[in-house]
Amino acid sequence: MKETDLLIFDLDGTLVSSGADIAASVNATLRRLGLPEKPVEEILRFVGDGVRLLIERTLGGLDGGRFDEALEIFGAHYREHMLDTTVPYPGIEAVLRHFSGKRKVILTNKRHSFARPIAEALGLTAHFDEVIGADSTPFTKPDPRLLDLVTRRFGVSPARTAVIGDGVNDVLLARNGGSFSCAYLNGLTPRVSLLALRPDCTYEAPPELMTLIR
């Protein structure tokens, strides 16, 4: 088991199953723009690098004005519908209670204005010291300066920090910053993409975390 002082959790696809609501808002945006909808699986491949890249990858080469319009449409729709079906993954509450004595942070490339309300509504914020969104700091995952900023803020060593997430950026953040990576294989990112990166550990269901880190 890996000894840790700080646990950094991703949000979408790690703590919460949120893919359906994200995809629904993307397709609502496409409809408003008069564009054809896309399959959910295709949209979810674009998640993980923040809303601007999500929209850019989904919509392709829109001109600047239409791109800004798409961002506004998505943001307004998602704000109203981001909790339609989003729920914590089974076992997450037990995991967070198990690690109640640990410093814990939610670190996401999602905007703070989306991430914080989701975490609050689902009763997650009580388990965490902080929720850090893409617009909370000058850096986003997988920039190692983000990990340095967070570990310094909490006065812990990167070597005694675990980054837990379902995304490529989570594994790369840990690797780039000298921390322990723990990849969730049943989140939003195809498992083959995660396994190709050879994370320090993997898990199939959240309760397994209690046997992997302490």
d(CA 126, CA 25): 28
The residue count of the chain comes to: 214
Q: Which of 5, 10, 135, 166 is catalytic?
A: 10
Beginning with the edge strand found earlier in the chain, give each strand of the sheet holding 103-107 in spatial order.
130-132, 103-107, 6-9, 161-165, 180-184, 201-203
Cis peptide leading into 138, omega within 30 of 0?
no
Three-state secondary-structure class, residue 87: strand
d(CA 4, CA 14): 19
CA–CA–CA angle 183, 184, 190 (5° rounding): 95
What are 6's strand-pairing partners? 103, 161
In this structure, the strands spanning 6-9 and 201-203 are: unpaired
Say whether 10 is catalytic: yes
Task: Report DSSP state, residue 90.
Answer: T
Structure tokens at 27: 């397709």
Annotated active-site positions, please?
A: 10
